[in-house]
């Protein structure tokens, strides 16, 4: 028998889903052939897609072996490394690399396909994604950038464990989440059960043209080799006037970023805006990115991360620095209150440095 959960997950098919190879609408088929009744998803040309970790996998890895040759790797890439960022290496850049080394100390796997990204977002990281104040500020800016019209259809391209979708839930929004690696989607589903979730590749998004009001992509395109193709796909699935809210790293790139976390490049605002204009967006507006707060907070981050690991090891209840002092995390909240003046200053248009921001909203 077909599990109720499987049928629920397929309620969104066939629309707005299309085959990322042929572009034709996907449909469901039921078959038994002497076996328990099963569901498969295929396009009009017989291409079938599989489930991985319980989610439909519309990536190259999700195709059956016979169809892999029909999905050659390729696309358009903007640049590697720093792009037009030609300033000298700063002390802050060296500090960023040190923090990266510490954060990834002892990790053995290398960035590669779904195997790497299945482990990129773990259940233990949920609290950090949810409560780290840098993410809270970014989600606040995201909410400010949404159209007021309801209902909205919104997709998070690279949804991870779902901290953005959880913020959008209950606001009159039809939620979709796409993640390249299927494993984190299980955590996302627990937190946002009303969202339609699937595994997909941002360079071949398996969705109909002009079918979404808003697409979100936070810290994703730096991981994608063919980033121009990915941004063009985001433009394609948006309705006229739709918004693409995205962020990418704006600090100096180093080969270490590629080696440890799979960053092909980091962007300047000018480079990012140029790509978004190239793929068809009519307007690109910078969003507040709290540069002074981020700079001060980054000095504290290695100590917070070390303390978080220590608290987790010493506690039998998986406590975290974010919940230390009670479930509301009074210790962490008290720490953040010391940055209140800097945060207020970063909200001042005269000091916000939005001309450096690589957190933007692009309008189709």
pTM of the model: 0.90
Count of helices and strands (H, E) across the chain? 13, 12
Q: 45: domain range?
A: 4-70
Instruction: Give the model confidence (pLDDT) of 87-134 as tens digits.
Output: 777 787 888 888 788 777 655 556 666 677 776 666 567 777 888 899
Alpha-carbon distance of 29 to 330, in angstroms, equals 52
Residue 285 and residue 139 share a domain: yes
Alpha carbon separation from 99 to 22, 93, 218, 281, 306 (Å, rounded): 43, 10, 20, 35, 11
Q: How many domains does the chain have?
A: 3
Query: Which 8-state DSSP code applies to residue 25?
Result: B
The verdict on 256 and 160 lying in the same domain is yes
**Contact (CB, 8 A) for 267 and 114:** no
If you write DSSP's letter for every residue of 305-330 in order, what string do you get? HHHHHHHHHH-TT---TTTTTSTT-H
Whole-number pLDDT of residue 1: 45
pLDDT in tens, 236-270: 999 999 999 999 999 889 888 988 888 999 999 99
Question: Do 241 and 127 lie in a common domain?
Answer: yes
- Shared domain check, 356 and 340: no
The answer on 188 and 176 residing in a single domain is yes
| Domain co-membership, 122 together with 216 | yes
CATH number at residue 150: 3.40.50.150
Three-state DSSP state, 262? coil
8 Å CB contact between 203 and 75: yes
Ramachandran region of residue 244, left (φ > 0), alpha (ψ -120 to 50) or beta? beta
Contact between 330 and 313 under an 8 Å Cβ cutoff? The reply is: no
Whether residue 329 is contained in a domain is answered as yes
Say if residue 277 is in the same domain as residue 131: yes
Flag the least confident range among 56-65, 220-229, 275-284, 287-296. Answer: 56-65
Residue 85 lies in a domain: no
Q: How far apart (Å, rounded) are the C-alpha atoms in residues 81 and 265? A: 4
| Backbone torsion region of residue 318, taken as left when φ is above 0, otherwise alpha when ψ lies between -120 and 50, otherwise beta | left
Looking at the structure, tell me whether residues 326 and 300 fall in a common domain.
yes
Q: Would you state the pLDDT for residue 118?
A: 72
DSSP string, 62-95: GB-GGGGGGS--------SBTTT--PPPPHHHHH
């Amino acid at each position: 028998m077909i599990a109720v959960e499987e049928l629920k997950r397929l309620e969104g098919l066939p629309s707005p889903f299309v085959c990322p190879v042929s572009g034709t609408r996907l449909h469901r088929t039921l078959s038994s052939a002497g076996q328990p009744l099963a569901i498969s998803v295929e396009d009009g040309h017989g291409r079938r897609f599989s489930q991985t970790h319980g989610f439909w996998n519309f990536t190259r890895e999700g195709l059956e072996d016979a169809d892999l040759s029909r999905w050659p790797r390729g696309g358009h890439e903007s640049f590697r490394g720093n792009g037009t960022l030609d300033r000298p290496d700063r002390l802050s850049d060296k500090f960023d690399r040190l923090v990266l080394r510490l954060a990834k100390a002892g990790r053995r796997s290398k960035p590669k396909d779904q195997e790497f990204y299945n482990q990129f977002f773990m259940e233990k990281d949920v609290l950090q994604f949810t409560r780290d104040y840098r993410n809270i500020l970014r989600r606040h800016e995201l909410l400010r950038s949404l159209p007021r019209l309801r209902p909205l259809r919104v997709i998070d391209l690279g949804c991870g464990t779902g901290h953005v979708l959880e913020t959008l839930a209950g606001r009159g929004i039809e939620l979709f989440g796409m993640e390249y690696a299927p494993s984190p989607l299980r955590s996302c589903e627990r937190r946002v059960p009303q969202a339609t979730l699937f595994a997909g590749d941002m360079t071949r998004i398996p969705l109909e043209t002009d079918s979404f009001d808003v697409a979100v992509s936070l810290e994703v395109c730096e991981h994608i080799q063919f980033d121009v193709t990915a941004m063009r796909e985001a433009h394609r699935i948006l309705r006229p006037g739709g918004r693409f809210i995205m962020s990418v790293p704006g600090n100096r790139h180093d080969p270490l970023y590629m080696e440890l976390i799979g960053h092909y490049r980091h962007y300047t605002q000018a480079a990012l805006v140029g790509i978004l204009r190239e793929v068809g967006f009519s307007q690109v507006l910078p969003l507040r990115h709290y540069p002074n707060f981020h700079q001060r907070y980054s000095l504290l981050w290695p100590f917070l991360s070390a303390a978080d690991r220590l608290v987790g090891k010493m506690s039998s209840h998986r406590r975290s620095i974010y919940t230390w002092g009670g479930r509301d995390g009074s210790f962490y909240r008290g720490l953040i209150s010391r940055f209140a003046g800097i945060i207020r200053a970063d909200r001042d248009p005269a000091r916000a440095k939005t001309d450096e921001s690589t957190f933007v909203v692009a309008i189709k």
